[in-house]
Amino acid sequence: QARLTSPPPGQLPPGSPSPLAQVKGIGPKLAAKLMEVGLQTVDNLLRHYPRDYIDYSRLLRIRALRPGETVTVVGTVRRSHAFVSSRNHNLAILELQLQDFTGRLRITRFYMGRRFTSPKWLQRQRRLFPPGATVAASGLVKAGPYGLSLQDPLLEVLGSSSVTTAASPGRRILPVYPPVEGLSADSLRRAVQAVLPMTCQQQDHLTEPWRQRFEVIPLAEALTAIHQPPSQAALQAARHRLVFDEFLELQLRLLRRRQQQRVQAMANLAVAGTSDLATAFLALLPFQLTSAQERVLQQIRNDLQGATPMGRLVQGDVGSGKTVVAIIALLEVIAAGGQGALM
């Protein structure tokens, strides 16, 4: 019979606690940089998921671009300009002109918010995208008055290993990680690659029968594929498993909270029947409650009389009367000397 392993109540089993400084391929300096941003263990780094991906299977030359296509282009920065909009001082604009041997492409990215308009941030963009840098840009091709452009694309400065990935037939999807101050994208990718062989140390709380039941892949396979996806299908399967785990942990925490509440006795409310306050409200309604609404209200009254906090979700279609049930329940609590809020 399928069964879960036994993690501590309310949480999933921990991953590998091995310090990054002990991992072959991650030196003391890189480990220290990672530690500064809270990435101290193998598990921390494995759970530092990419924020996006560049799919090189969609790689096209600039001359081959057509409006309406979602593509990836790799080229050299010919010109770059980072500045604050003269019309909106909270809007920063990054403009690049990218070229390959077939043509040139205009790229524009918009950044809204004060932190993007600081001189320090603008200078950082100029350092990231200097003329001569090799950049991958992914996005929707649009036609404008000045020719084709990529509007608000995903941008990634490519180092030597990233360019190798673009040309490798076996690895066509490049992970793009949240930036880490003081670390290049390639350095972060190399650190992740160094810990990928250790995914087998991650305890999988789902046994094979449970994985088959919920149609999810093994945890080690998911962690490998989220960082090094061989295909879009493998990437989707990895995301499905990791999102499943997040919801499972949330449910476990809620169950643990309910268990704790059951053993914490509290003063119950004297909600035996319909109060005068609720009766007066019902008299104002131009309709009578349905039998389903009456049944749910009685269940709520029973919960309120209990010694543990009520945790109830009222579910119904639009117009089924959920709000009126909530108002009556609120009035019953107030009539019994309690307090409530309707939001």
Q: What are 274's two structure tokens?
A: 């319909």
Mean pLDDT of 153-182: 68
Cα-based distances in Å from 204 to 13, 109, 235: 8, 41, 19
Q: What is the mean pLDDT of the chain?
A: 84
The answer to whether 275 and 335 have CB atoms below 8 angstroms apart is yes
Reduced to 3 states (helix: H, G, I; strand: E, B; else coil), residue 92 is: strand
Domain boundaries 55-176, CATH class: mainly beta
Q: 17-51+177-196 domain in CATH 1.10.150.20?
A: yes
The token pair that represents 244 in the structure block: 């499943």
Q: How far apart are the first and last CA of the chain?
A: 45
Q: What CA–CA distances, in Å, run from 108 to 93, 102, 105, 136, 321?
A: 7, 20, 10, 14, 49
pLDDT of 268: 63
Query: How do 91-100 and 70-84 pair as beta strands?
Result: antiparallel
Give residue-wise pLDDT tens across range 174-213: 888 887 777 777 788 889 999 999 888 788 989 999 999 9
Q: Taking Cα atoms as reference points, which of 180, 151, 193, 156 lies closest to residue 54?
A: 156
Positive or negative, the CA dihedral 326, 330, 331, 333 is positive
pLDDT at 284 over 50: yes
Is residue 219 a contact partner of residue 245, using CB atoms and an 8 Å limit?
yes
For residue 270 the two structure tokens come to: 């004297």
Of 25-39, 267-281, 282-296, which has the strongest mean pLDDT? 282-296
pLDDT in the model for residue 3: 41
Helix (H) or strand (E) holding 267: none
Does the pLDDT value for residue 46 go beyond 70? yes
Report percent pLDDT > 90 for the chain.
40
In angstroms, the CA 274 to CA 283 distance is: 12
pLDDT in tens, 81-125: 999 999 999 999 999 999 999 999 999 999 998 889 999 999 989
Would you say residue 267 has pLDDT above 80? no
What DSSP letter does each residue of 12-61 carry, written as one string?
PPP----BGGGSTT--HHHHHHHHHTT--BHHHHHTS--SEEEEGGGB--
Give me the pLDDT at residue 1, please.
Answer: 36
What is the rounded CA–CA span in Å between residue 287 and residue 321?
Answer: 11
Looking only at the bridges linking them, the beta strands covering 173-176 and 154-157 are unpaired
> Three-state SS for 190?
helix
Instruction: Assign 14 a pLDDT band (cuts: 50, 70, 90).
Output: low
More confident residue, 257 or 98: 98
pLDDT range class, residue 266, cuts 50, 70, 90: low
Residue pair 73/141 in contact by the 8 Å Cβ criterion? no
Q: pLDDT tier at 9 (50, 70, 90 boundaries)?
A: very low
Paired strand residues for 54: 174
Long-range contacts of 252-257 (CB under 8 A, 24+ apart): 252/7, 252/9, 252/10, 252/11, 252/12, 253/10, 253/11, 255/9, 255/10, 256/9, 256/10, 257/10
The rounded distance, in Å, linking the Cα atoms of 42 and 39 is 8
Q: What is the pLDDT of residues 208-253, one digit of tens each?
A: 999 999 999 999 999 999 999 999 999 999 999 999 999 999 999 9
**Domain edges within the chain:** 1-11+202-264, 17-51+177-196, 55-176, 276-335
Q: How would you class 119 by CB atoms within 10 Å of its CB: exposed for 0-12, middle for 13-18, buried for 19 or more?
A: exposed
DSSP letter, residue 341:
-
Beta bridge partners of 59: 72
Give the mean model confidence (pLDDT) for residues 259-267.
69
List, in order, residues 6 or more apart from 37 with CB less than 8 Å away: 180, 181
Decide whether 17-51+177-196 matches 55-176 in CATH topology.
no
Classify 182 in phi/psi space as left (phi over 0), alpha (psi -120 to 50) or beta: left
292 versus 267: the higher-pLDDT residue is 292
